[in-house]
Each structure stands twice: as C-alpha cells, then as structure tokens.
Amino acid sequence: MKKKKILVLGAGMVGSAIALDLSADYDVTAADRSKESLQALKSKGVKTKQEDLSKKKELQKLLKGFDLVVGAVPGYLGFQTLKTIIEAKKDVVDISFFPEDAFLLNKLAQQKGVTTVVDCGVAPGLSNIIAGYHHHRMMVKNFECYVGGLPKERKPPFEYKAPFSPIDVIEEYTRPARLVENDEVVTYEALTGIEPLQFKNIGTLEAFNSDGLRSLIFTLDIPNMKEKTLRYPGHADKMRLLRDAGFFSHDVIELNGRKLKPIDFTTQLIFPQWKLEKNEREFTVMRVIVEGEENGKQVKYQYDLYDEFDVKTGVSSMARTTGYTCTAAVRLVLEGDYNQKGISPPEFLGARSECFEFTMKYLKERRISIKQRKTH
C-alpha cells in the first residue's frame, strides 16, 4: 500500500521532531532554508528540500503532490504560509502560533474544502484539547493553564533557555495578556499577576500572566479562564525591567549616527545566552485545572504534565510535547478520524472523545507523563 505523503514546513527543533515521528509510517519530506537542519534529518532517512518558505511562488510549487502539510515555521511567517497552504487545497496541521486571528481564514478553508487544525502544540494545543473535552461533557466554570519550558541547570542571570524561537518568547513578555473573568474578557500587562506554584521534582516556580488562551476566549463559554507562563522565581522581574526600560521596543532610535531598533540590539545580546546547548537537559511542565459541575456534582480535574530531554533520541522535551501533540492530530486528519472543514483550534478535536482519548494514548506511548486527578 502506497504511503501517504506529508510535507513538513520548517526543520527547526520542533519541525524536525515532527518529521521524524511521522516518518515511521508516512512518506515525509521536510523543507527549510537551513542546510544544516535538513542534513540532520536527511542522515536519519527523511527526504528534504532546501527552500525559502517566505517566497510564495516557491511555496506554491513545493506544496504540489502532498496529502497533508504541517506548518512549523516561525510565527511571523505563519499566517501567510497557512493561507497559501489552504489556497492550494491541502489539509494542514499548524504549530506556528502566529499573532493573527486564524478564523480570518475560516471561510477560505471551508470554500476550499480543507481541514485546518491550528495552534496544535502543547499550550496552546494539548491544553485546548483538555478544555474542549471537559467543556463538552460538563458545565465548566473555571479553566486554568500553567506551562513552561526550562533548563535543568539554573544559570544566572536569566536562569532560562529558549526551547523555541526566542523572538516568540519575547513576544510573550510584551503582548498584553487576555484572561476571562466573570464572563468578561479582561486585559492585563504581561509579566504581572506573579504567583508561586509547587511542582514535584522541581520545587517552586513562578507563574505570570501571558496571552496564551488564544481561541479559547471565543470558542468556549467558560466564565473564568487564565493562562500563565512558568519560570524560575525572579525571571519575570528581570524581563519586566528590560521591557519597561525599552530594550524590547521596535521603535527606531538613533545611536552614534546609526538608526536601530532596541529589540535588535537586545536580541543580539540575549539570544546566545538563551540558546540550548547540544544535548542540554531541559524539561517541560504544564498544569491544567478544570472545575465545574458534572452530573450534578462539583468536581475538579487536574492534569500534570512533565517531560524531560530524551537522552536516547536527543529530542528536547518542548519538541516532544509540542511535536507529538501535533503528530497525533496529523494522524487523526490523515486517517479520516477528524475531517471537519474550515479552521479548527484544538478544542474542536477535544470535544470528540475519540480524538481526546487517541491523543492522550499517543502521548503516553511516547513516554510523556500526564497524570490526571479528579476530586469532588
């Protein structure tokens, strides 16, 4: 039987993990402009194509002949890339987490008859799947998500390494955070609302407001929802100091006769310090809390995810948790188990019990630990 063909756009840390996971059962091609990233995949038996994915005409040619496309490009390329994929009438699962509203492409996706799953990583992604599952089965009154990726070794001054695009991390520190309180969407400054949380095998982490609810704000009628980012204690204050002093600004300034953006200067200094070393140990932690009424009783569900760098495969925990949630969705779409046309955020998948159960089982098979606890 001929294998179905998948094109993975982006061969970065997560894109590579996605390509390798899918290559066990499908005919996978990875595309990126980085020869180095592609060579690493090629050495492991994945087909590769070196392309500049920012060029629409090149992308249009590249898309021909594939059954499904995975979008794993940087956020700033995400929306336009997704639009081009939809125009080509290709089913797609996307993890680029672009800032634009994906539902702006809903009508186009429906017209083209395309199944388009967006934001399908760990958070947003798995957290949404959990929210959608419970929202469809009980009256949820409160939803909370706390999530972060951190190095095992705490190195000052930041005690942080970026497990995904560092520029997208800085976006988390500058973009206003939208939460839902008493059925109203409220906005807080990012890096506010700091609270300590305890985690087994980790200790104390701090949680602060970030804009991670995304589609959940509009798709689920839950009166109280919040998403917070997790870091080692003290990190938020350091980032707020840099942000408030203007180091993350995109406004052009003049320095010694030259015009530059402070963010460009800052990234040149910070990014080398935030880069994970080869085989550096890191972990991903997420806690999701769902509270409400189920069968006439007040209940609370708590999901605790913890995953570490895989020593055997060399795949980071963030690539595993983000990538394998994505590949679970890819398999659901490719095998016809999820075929809703138009834009589908992950909570739409979670509303279907078979999709939720498949995803949880899929992650368990890949040794990603998710512990569920139910209390009354």
Structural domains present in the chain: 5-121+316-368 (3.40.50.720), 126-308 (3.30.360.10)
- Residue-wise pLDDT for 22-38, tens only, equals 999 999 999 999 999 89
- Residue-wise pLDDT for 316-334, tens only, equals 999 999 999 999 999 999 9
CA distance 16 to 319: 8
pLDDT band at 193, cuts 50/70/90?
A: very high
10 Å CB burial of residue 319 (0-12, 13-18, 19+) is buried
Residue 124 has pLDDT above 90, yes or no: yes
- Residue-wise pLDDT for 202-232, tens only, equals 999 999 999 999 999 999 999 999 999 999 9
Structure confidence at residue 89 (pLDDT):
98
Averaged over 357-364, what is the pLDDT? 98
Mean pLDDT computed over every residue of the chain: 95
Structure confidence at residue 168 (pLDDT):
79
Q: Are 169 and 150 in contact, with CB atoms under 8 Å apart?
A: no
- pTM, full prediction: 0.95
Residue 128 has pLDDT above 80, yes or no: yes
> DSSP states of 94-127 as a string?
E----SS-GGGGHHHHHHHT-EEE-S-BBTTBHH
Structure confidence at residue 292 (pLDDT):
98
Percentage with pLDDT > 90 across the chain:
90
Tokens of 52: 């500049």
Averaged over 285-307, what is the pLDDT? 97
- Residue-wise pLDDT for 46-103, tens only, equals 999 999 999 999 999 999 999 999 999 988 899 999 999 999 999 999 999 898 999 9
CA distance 160 to 273: 9
Structure confidence at residue 182 (pLDDT):
97
249-283: burial string, b at 16+ Cβ within 10 Å, e else: eeeeeeeeeeeeebbeebbeebeeebebeeeeebb
CA distance 129 to 117: 12
CA distance 197 to 147: 11
Averaged over 233-237, what is the pLDDT? 97
CA distance 256 to 127: 47
| Strands of the sheet with 47-50, listed across from one edge | 47-50, 27-32, 5-9, 68-71, 91-94, 115-117, 342-344
pLDDT band at 290, cuts 50/70/90?
A: very high
Structure confidence at residue 169 (pLDDT):
87
